């Protein structure tokens, strides 16, 4: 639960940076455009649903009003696909960072990966009824990775491959 809460906080920081810098970062999705900060806000609400759903495995009093569904996983995939069309495919690994908003997205991605591992561990310890949570958490780190690249690309920041 703590890792999901920390992830939600990191996404909130990213949203705040987007608002401070007044960058809209429009994502072209089916039905029109969506601001990146609005997509991230919907993800934050999803994370609360995930936390409640996991807590409800131990105590039904925590059952969320809305459970993560296959459609929510597909929505994440559409975010990643839409942003990914804005820049060239990767030919190597890239170092995290760039502009401050992209660095915040990279930090949120790292926390998302840890949160995913925690959710998998929880699923192995007790029954999590909603299997879509695992798929959602898996896709979320990808969305944040693509968001970092999308933001850097929109700001003309060149990606740096690691020297290893």
**Would you give per-residue pLDDT tens digits along the chain (164 residues)?**
899 999 999 999 999 999 987 777 878 777 778 899 999 999 999 999 999 888 887 777 777 788 999 999 999 999 999 998 888 888 889 999 999 999 999 999 999 999 999 999 988 888 788 899 999 999 999 999 999 999 999 999 999 999 98
Domain range list for the chain: 2-154
Place of tokens 């990643």: 80
Q: For the domain covering 2-154, report its CATH number.
A: 1.20.1200.10
Residue with tokens 């969320």: 64
Q: Which two tokens stand for residue 164?
A: 């290893």
In the three-class reduction of DSSP (H, G, I as helix; E, B as strand; rest coil), residue 35 is classed as strand
Q: Strand, helix or coil at 60?
A: helix
Runs of H (alpha helix) within the chain:
2-20, 36-58, 70-84, 100-125, 132-154
Token code pair at residue 43: 């993800």
């Amino acid at each position: 639960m703590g890792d999901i809460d920390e992830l939600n906080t990191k996404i909130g920081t990213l949203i705040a940076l987007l608002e401070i810098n007044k960058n809209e970062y429009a994502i072209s999705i089916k039905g029109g455009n969506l601001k990146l900060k609005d997509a991230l806000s919907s993800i934050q609400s999803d994370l609360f649903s995930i936390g409640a759903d996991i807590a409800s495995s131990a105590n039904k009093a925590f059952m969320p009003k809305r459970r993560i569904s296959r459609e929510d996983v597909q929505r994440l995939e559409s975010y990643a696909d839409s942003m990914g069309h804005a820049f060239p495919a990767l030919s190597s690994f890239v170092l995290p960072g760039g502009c401050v908003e992209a660095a915040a997205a990279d930090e949120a991605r790292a926390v998302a990966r840890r949160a995913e591992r925690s959710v998998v561990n929880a699923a192995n310890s007790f029954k999590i009824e909603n299997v879509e949570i695992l798929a959602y958490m898996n896709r979320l780190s990808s969305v944040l990775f693509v968001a970092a690249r999308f933001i850097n690309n929109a700001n003309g920041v060149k990606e740096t491959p690691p020297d290893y």
